A and B are shown apart, each in its own frame.
Chain A
């Protein structure tokens, strides 16, 4: 099988890239291991922040529908339930395994890796009990599969994911007994925190989980206060009767495919860990292999879409479908949107991380 631009991952970055490239006439093929496209968009039932010009105020699920519809109109080919298990010839071919267990080689002229990120685990006594699960996994169960994993939930972590999933658990009819964070301050945005506080969910900062207990499943948890040294303050333990523990302690880029292809990776804490280096055109250290979205730094869906656009435009230009001047103009527009999205105090870390990443690309 042949294509011009192969994209691994059909989340916001992959779809946005596909649209930009396909618009210019590039033949685009998307591969996704999931049975449905959209990445995390279809479980994002909340309205997105951002600029009014860029789909702010629209729910993630509806942005997903919109992007897919555009892909369909532009004849973007999407293989679902298909794994990209290897990258050959410096990104000029992918090894695919389809859902029916057949394998296939996909030859491509350009490759975009938009494989996203994975939830970080948290180890504590009892963490392997059924009933302990990722907040993102909980959101998938609830909002995609319509299964509520439990009735009484402890949320561990108060970043935006922890706060938003707490709110959605209440919308789905569960009780969130508390949202805790080991830090003295809430991780996520104040508006998300305020939203769950007025619903009566306590937020306990400077708190940690000591253990989950139960024989065959979670029956409860022990939480405790921590001091400035992050150590448990004696006799501050408290028992909570719960049946579900959601872990929302951050995400890490899924850089394995890029790494196995030979792209140079680097560790940048501000971006969530190991991530492939890329330049201003989202191209990695291997010519013709691009990255976009959480795979090269955990941020927001809004930034992922802009990075996706840049990579799609860059690929289209290098394939000869876009003139340099036109491509530069389009990329500049997206870069300006990225700058605006990364201008606030909450984006200081990711902005710094991105600058480091691009600097390291040019140094290596």
Chain B
């Protein structure tokens, strides 16, 4: 029961894949789709409320884990900035033949620039490869949680969850 998360702060692969907010791999590969790494019953539901297509379901008990409907999800990314836990990422496995596009919440200054080469980090903060910044969305609605999108080699799409500016 979430032993890895509770003792280390990092979800194990098995813990991750069992979450109702994480779509099955074959759908992630067909993305873009939201990957909701929300594993604990905490009272919270802004992700459900912000979703324009009704793809995220929590229901009346706000302690329920969010359930993603990968078919309804368009990968728009609004939930990335809405999640107070910064636990939602959008993964697009079809960006190019060899590259995936990952969108993450980013609350540090300075923001990277489009075109920058940055280090791509895994859930433990370890560099696994380089990433190229493709888009930065920082509208007023996101309230200072910028959404940074970058490309990485496709096979890393379920590993990379943060970036470090080189």
Contact = CB atoms under 8 A, between A and B. Distances in A.
Contacts of B99: none
Most chain A C-beta atoms within 10 Å of own C-beta, residue among B39, B63, B145: B63
Query: Majority SS of interface residues in chain A?
Result: mixed
Interface in B80-132: 82, 84-87, 107-108, 121-126
Contacts of A346: 40-42
A184 interface: yes
A247 interface: no
A194 B43 contact: no
B125 A203 contact: no
Contacts, number: 123
A51 B45 contact: yes
Interface residues of B, number: 43
Interface residues of A, number: 40
Interface stretch (B3-11, B24-32, B68-76, B146-154): B3-11
B46 interface: yes
Contact of B43 (A186, A191, A343): A343
Nearest to A188: B9
Most chain A C-beta atoms within 10 Å of own C-beta, residue among B8, B10, B126, B144: B8
A194 B5 contact: yes
B125 A347 contact: no
B62 interface: yes
B22 interface: no
Contacts of B2: 190
B11 A343 contact: no
Nearest to A62: B143
Nearest to A181: B7
Given A200-B125, A344-B42, A344-B43, A193 B9 contact: yes
B7 A205 contact: yes
Interface stretch (A42-50, A83-91, A325-333): A42-50
A97 interface: no
B108 A171 contact: yes
A184 B7 CA distance: 6
Given A185-B6, A194-B87, A199-B125, A51 B82 contact: no
Contact of B84 (A57, A185, A344): A57
Given A47-B143, A347-B43, A195 B125 contact: no
A196 B87 CA distance: 12
Contact of A49 (B50, B84, B145): B84
A52 B46 CA distance: 5
Contacts of A198: 121-125, 161-162
Given A57-B82, A198-B122, A203 B8 contact: yes
Interface in A185-243: 185-186, 189-201, 203, 205
A195 B162 CA distance: 9
A123 interface: no
11 contacts: A51-B45, A56-B46, A190-B5, A190-B9, A190-B40, A197-B123, A197-B124, A199-B162, A200-B126, A344-B43, A346-B41
Closest 8 CB pairs of A and B: A200-B125, A191-B85, A193-B9, A57-B46, A344-B63, A47-B84, A52-B49, A197-B9
